Amino acid sequence: IAGMGATTIIHILEGAPEVTDSLSRLILQPMSGAGLMRKWLAENDWFIVAETLVEEDGIIYEVIAAEPGRMPIKPIMCDVGPLLWLGRHPLIKKHIYRLMQSDKAILDNMKKGKNAVESEKYKAIKEHYAELEKMFRCL
């Protein structure tokens, strides 16, 4: 399933459980929300067996292959991609930088509102950014 957001892909997979349950492999290319896609896979007993990044016209696309099985996954790895990180994919640095830019833009917008900076969401995004930054420095 490719060319749509993770939310739509998840809706398709959940909409026909008899079909999804009969599959031996999923190959997914969410246009957005790959972290949400990985989280759903882990929560629904799909094990990520392969991942790759493809860059075209300056856009990085994520491709995920999964097979039935259990897979514990840390929240940060839902966004980064556990196999992308472990294999030090050639585009991993660009990928993490892009994730950091997204977090930074959200944090900058939230700083405009006094109450937003005090929120749990702001703190969570700030922690997420710090984890990404630490990973980025390791590369």
| Cα separation values, 21 from 1, 17, 28, 47, 81, Å | 15, 6, 16, 13, 23
**Cβ contacts of 43 within 8 Å, gap of 6 or more:** none
The band of 113, judged by pLDDT with boundaries at 50, 70 and 90, is: confident
pTM equals: 0.93
pLDDT per residue as tens digits for the range 2-23: 999 999 999 999 999 999 999 9
Each residue's pLDDT tens digit, 83-104: 999 999 999 999 999 999 999 9
Residues 126-137 pLDDT 10s: 999 999 999 999
Identify the pLDDT of residue 114: 79
